[in-house]
């Protein structure tokens, strides 16, 4: 089987990372060369940097629905998740605290929970249905007197499925329980308002919404919870004592501008990308038998399509599609390649787990690229299935 190698691969992996918007880059460049002051310095250049940082806080807060003072800068969503979960639980003052989460969370949440479990914190991981949805009533039943935090992602990174945060936020508010969401996939793709959803904490990532890598933010609505987080990084008391370290002003400015752009362009972008995604899925379903869209019966982000091509190994398919950049749902280890924990949690048949590929679309994706990708995927899947059948003859 011959495969076509394109000089410039068709990028369908925007859920993994996005290119930096030219307008974001333009805003960042002066911070490297001329306006490079330390935001903690009292001289003119330091004050200018501090003003740029505060402007970025306002831009982030406008996107996610909080006060600018609620924005804490981090190195990304992973650090924000760690600070939210570890920092909040350690500041709660409970002798035997309890946390509620779900099995399909990103490892940036599951691993901090495992770390706290080793410290003696009780963690409950809830099951989801076959479409990656969690029932709010299940969350309500899991809350106990010693529960201090519920942490549930806004949108799943593999499926794009949305968590019913409004209903769960109301449940947590009624019970007096703090709620955190990892919004790294959702922010900038769909409207998400921390205040309206009743969220206490929210994690945001720059490189998921056309900003730079290495920057993120934790939204901590202090009027909705305690007044301080126990820091996980010490060394100078920056960010009101909650996250020490010299501020990454260029990246902070970039994240701010990326959020500002998302506020004005998100609705139009989502409508266009959803159309591309839906056409992509419907064509594959029509042209390739035994093909499934995972999570299709749940509310989803407009840009993610997780598809199973039964009878085709996902890694083999991506290797054959050298001209397309996409992802499997697999986590690779030194010894083996196992299906994603998300697909396992859905209870999908093993053949669907092993044949799952995530395609994700973005602002630069064109109709021409989608059609070209379809022209490559359809015959490649058929060819791989024929080869698999011949191997058993």
Burial 208-241 (b: 16+ CB within 10 A, else e): bbbbbbbbbbbbbbeebbbeebebbbeeeebbee
Rounded mean pLDDT, 138-166 = 97
pLDDT, residue 53, reads 96
The band of 226, judged by pLDDT with boundaries at 50, 70 and 90, is low
Share of the chain above pLDDT 90, in %: 83
Rounded mean pLDDT, 363-382 = 97
- Token pair, residue 260, equals 């500002």
User: From the candidates 31, 66, 259, 332, which is the catalytic residue?
Assistant: 332
Average pLDDT, rounded, for the chain:
92
- Evaluated on CA atoms 167, 78, 86, 83, the torsion sign reads negative
The band of 335, judged by pLDDT with boundaries at 50, 70 and 90, is very low
Active site residue 332: yes
pLDDT, residue 376, reads 97
pLDDT, residue 57, reads 98
Is 2's pLDDT higher than 50? Answer: no
Q: First vs last Cα of the chain: how many Å apart? A: 18
Rounded mean pLDDT, 303-312 = 97
Is 333's pLDDT higher than 80? Answer: no
Share of the chain above pLDDT 70, in %: 94
Instruction: Say which residue the tokens 């969370």 belong to.
Output: 105
pLDDT, residue 327, reads 94
CA 136 to CA 349: how far, in whole Å?
A: 26
CA 356 to CA 351: how far, in whole Å?
A: 9
pTM: 0.93
Q: Say if residues 15 and 326 touch (Cβ distance below 8 Å).
A: no
Rounded mean pLDDT, 143-153 = 97
- Evaluated on CA atoms 336, 337, 340, 346, the torsion sign reads negative
Q: Which domains does the chain have, with CATH numbers?
A: 10-18+266-391 (3.90.1150.10), 22-261 (3.40.640.10)
CA 346 to CA 128: how far, in whole Å?
A: 6
pLDDT, residue 284, reads 98
CA 293 to CA 358: how far, in whole Å?
A: 10
- In terms of phi and psi (left: phi > 0; alpha: psi -120 to 50; beta: otherwise), the region of 358 is beta
- Is 332 exposed, middle or buried, given 0-12, 13-18 or 19+ CB atoms closer than 10 A? exposed
CA 349 to CA 347: how far, in whole Å?
A: 7
CA 203 to CA 183: how far, in whole Å?
A: 5
More confident call, 5 vs 218: 218
pLDDT, residue 36, reads 92
Task: Find residue 292's DSSP bridge partners.
Answer: 308
């Amino acid at each position: 089987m011959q495969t076509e190698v394109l000089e410039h691969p068709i990028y369908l992996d925007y859920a993994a990372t996005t290119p930096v918007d030219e307008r974001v880059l333009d805003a960042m460049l002066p911070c490297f060369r001329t306006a490079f002051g330390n935001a903690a310095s009292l001289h003119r250049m330091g004050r200018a940097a501090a003003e740029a940082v505060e402007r970025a806080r306002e831009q982030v807060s406008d996107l996610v629905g909080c006060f600018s003072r609620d924005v804490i800068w981090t190195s990304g969503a992973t650090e924000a998740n760690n600070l939210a979960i570890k920092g909040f639980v350690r500041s709660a003052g409970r002798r035997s605290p309890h946390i509620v989460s779900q099995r399909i969370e990103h490892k940036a949440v599951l691993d901090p929970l495992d770390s706290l479990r080793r410290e003696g914190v009780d963690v409950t991981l809830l099951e989801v249905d076959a479409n990656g949805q969690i029932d709010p009533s299940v969350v309500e039943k899991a809350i106990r007197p010693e529960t201090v935090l519920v942490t549930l992602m806004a949108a799943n990174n593999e499926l794009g499925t949305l968590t019913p945060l409004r209903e769960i936020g109301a449940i947590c508010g009624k019970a007096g329980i703090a709620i955190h969401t990892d919004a790294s996939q959702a922010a900038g793709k769909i409207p998400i308002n921390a205040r309206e959803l009743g969220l206490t904490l929210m994690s945001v990532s720059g490189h998921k919404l056309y900003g730079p890598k290495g920057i993120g933010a934790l939204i901590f609505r202090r009027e909705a919870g305690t007044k301080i987080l126990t820091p996980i990084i010490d060394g100078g008391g920056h960010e009101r004592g909650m996250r020490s370290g010299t501020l990454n002003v260029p990246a902070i400015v970039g994240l701010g501008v990326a959020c500002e752009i998302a506020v004005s362009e998100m609705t139009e972008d989502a409508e266009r990308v959803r159309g591309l995604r839906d056409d992509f899925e419907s064509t594959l379903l029509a042209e390739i038998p035994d093909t499934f869209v995972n999570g299709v019966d749940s509310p989803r982000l407009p840009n993610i399509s997780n598809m199973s091509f039964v009878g085709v190994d996902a890694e083999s398919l991506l290797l054959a599609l050298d001209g397309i950049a996409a992802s499997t749902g697999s986590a690779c280890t030194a010894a083996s390649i196992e299906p994603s924990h998300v697909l396992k949690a859905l209870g999908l048949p093993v053949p669907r787990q092993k044949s799952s590929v995530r395609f994700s679309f973005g602002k630069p994706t064109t109709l021409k690229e989608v059609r070209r990708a379809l022209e490559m995927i359809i015959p490649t899947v058929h060819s791989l299935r024929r080869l698999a059948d011949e191997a058993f003859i």
